[in-house]
Amino acid sequence: MRKHNGIAISVFIFCAATLLVLPTGCKKRQSARPRIALVMKSLANEFFKTMEDGARAHHKQHAGQYDLIAVGIKDELDVAQQIKLVEQMVAQGAGAIVIAPADSKALVPACKRAMDAGVVVINIDNKFDEAVLADKQVSIPFVGPDNRKGARLAGEHLAGKLKAGDEVAIIEGAPNTFNGIQRKLGFEDAMKAAGANIVSSQSGYWEMARANQVVSAILTEHLNLKALLCANDSMALGAVAATKAAGKSDAILIVGFDNISAVQELLKEGGILCTVDQHADKLAVYGIEYALEMLAKEGAPADKETPVDLITAETL
């Protein structure tokens, strides 16, 4: 009896899986339009969710021009999985891959293999490492915002509220990402220019709870802290909670990055001083349009900078 159950269930699961897979497989085989694969980082991250939604909306309007395959990895640190995805997209016969690499270095060889197979590769969001690109002798066009500039904008806005010598701390993103490093550098540029004293710079690995713990510790160690510069908004939320718990909400200014929906209210209330919008919804669209352009005329690849904007309570 129990055995029969088991067989019945496995047969059911197999059938269900086949039914799910078959139609998508057939659809792909029929089309002659160029297929563009959008390979993102974690879809668990609101930023990439917005990016994906933007790409899908664009595809709906231009459905006749290309087919879109949007894929992402489970969490941002799963670099191996993203490499697999790139290989799968090549195997599926994608004409172009628009990729937001989870690691600025580790994804280069996989993309080089894709290019050798004749696939157009466009780099968005997180820029590939120059040295690795040079070593592999490839040039991959980068379409995306200047994160360092964005962070500097936010830092300069903060600097207007600080005096020289004020103590500030930076909550960094994951240390193996280009955009994380760029944002840290941008914050540092602005703080050094303002003569502020950076007393601590630690990683919150992009996460709210992790940042909360790190910020709590920094607040205990540095009693005169005046501001916290966080490399993304999730970490800024964690920082807001930590300053509140320490009873220092009024004394400490907090800066975020990404302009996610959860910080809108806090920006209005003044819980977060400012954030930076790099237009996630447009980012993938720029990449896709650029890919279509390159597929059409095979032009020499050049980088293309997309806008970054400072968001404060006034600009909302």
CB of 48 to another protein, least distance (A): 8
| Residue 265 found at the interface with another protein (CB under 8 A) | yes
| Residue 275 found at the interface with another protein (CB under 8 A) | no
Q: Which of 205, 257, 286, 290 binds another protein (CB under 8 A)?
A: 205
Instruction: Record the tokens describing residue 290, joined without a space.
Output: 């650029």
Give the C-alpha distances (Å, rounded to integers) separating 309 from 104, 154, 177, 230, 283. 24, 9, 21, 16, 13
- Partners of residue 202 on adjacent β-strands: 171
| Residue 43 found at the interface with another protein (CB under 8 A) | yes
| Residue 292 found at the interface with another protein (CB under 8 A) | no
The separation between CA 239 and the C-alpha centre of its own chain, rounded to angstroms, equals 20
Percentages of the chain per state (helix, strand, coil), in multiples of 5: 50, 20, 30
| Residue 140 found at the interface with another protein (CB under 8 A) | no
Nearest 5°: the CA angle 187, 189, 194 is 95
| Residue 116 found at the interface with another protein (CB under 8 A) | no
Number of residues this chain uses to bind another protein (CB under 8 A): 40
CB of 8 to another protein, least distance (A): 13
Q: Which of 44, 63, 193, 316 binds another protein (CB under 8 A)?
A: 44
| Residue 178 found at the interface with another protein (CB under 8 A) | no
Instruction: Tell me phi and psi for residue 226, to 5 degrees.
Output: -110, -25
Q: Which of 266, 273, 276, 285 binds another protein (CB under 8 A)?
A: 266
CB of 263 to another protein, least distance (A): 7
DSSP string, 168-232: EEEEE--TT-HHHHHHHHHHHHHHHHHT-EEEEEEE-TT-HHHHHHHHHHHHHH-TTEEEEEESS
Q: Which of 207, 252, 254, 280 binds another protein (CB under 8 A)?
A: 207
CB of 82 to another protein, least distance (A): 18
| Residue 223 found at the interface with another protein (CB under 8 A) | yes
| Residue 45 found at the interface with another protein (CB under 8 A) | yes
**Nearer to another protein by C-beta: 141 or 271?**
271
Dihedral of the alpha carbons of 211, 215, 217, 221, in degrees to the nearest 10: 150
Amino acid at 127: K
Q: Which strands sit side by side in the sheet containing 304-306, from one edge to the other?
A: 67-73, 35-42, 96-99, 120-124, 142-145, 304-306
Instruction: Tell me phi and psi for residue 245, to 5 degrees.
Output: -60, -35
| Residue 30 found at the interface with another protein (CB under 8 A) | no
| Residue 10 found at the interface with another protein (CB under 8 A) | no
Q: Which of 65, 88, 213, 312 binds another protein (CB under 8 A)?
A: 213
Per DSSP, the three-state class of 309 is strand
Residues near another protein, by CB under 8 A: 43-46, 49, 75, 200, 202-203, 205, 207-209, 212-214, 216-221, 223, 234, 237-238, 240-242, 244-247, 260-266
